[in-house]
Structure 1
């Protein structure tokens, strides 16, 4: 499971949907816990979403973003 990976997007959308193909599909050892991603907007954590996995495909959905461009530098 990767850790410390950062992807930067610039959007004025109020929601974000992301799908990707993991090779191999992510698995966690231990209790049945799903991988999570922190969504940060304007330097603050807007949401923590759980990755949904189906075979080798994974993705997430985040709702409730501000719906405006972030201030420069964020």
Structure 2
């Protein structure tokens, strides 16, 4: 199984930090998947992840400087509120 796995994606990644120490304690352990899948690409996405939370995720997943950050605005001209 692990030899065929190409990518692991966590949507709403901010929940790993927000809930990992209280509400969903299992989220605290999700970074341990890297020990089982060290060569597998990892994607953590969220529309609400401020810089301190990004830093906390990088620390929790032990990314060091070995990651790429793609930051896109959610401000769209065709959406009004």
- Structure (1 or 2) with the greater helix fraction: 2
TM-score norm. by structure 1 comes to 0.32
- Structure (1 or 2) with the greater strand fraction: 1
Q: Which has the higher contact order (CA 8 A, sep 6+)?
A: 1
TM-score norm. by structure 2 comes to 0.31
Larger Rg: 2
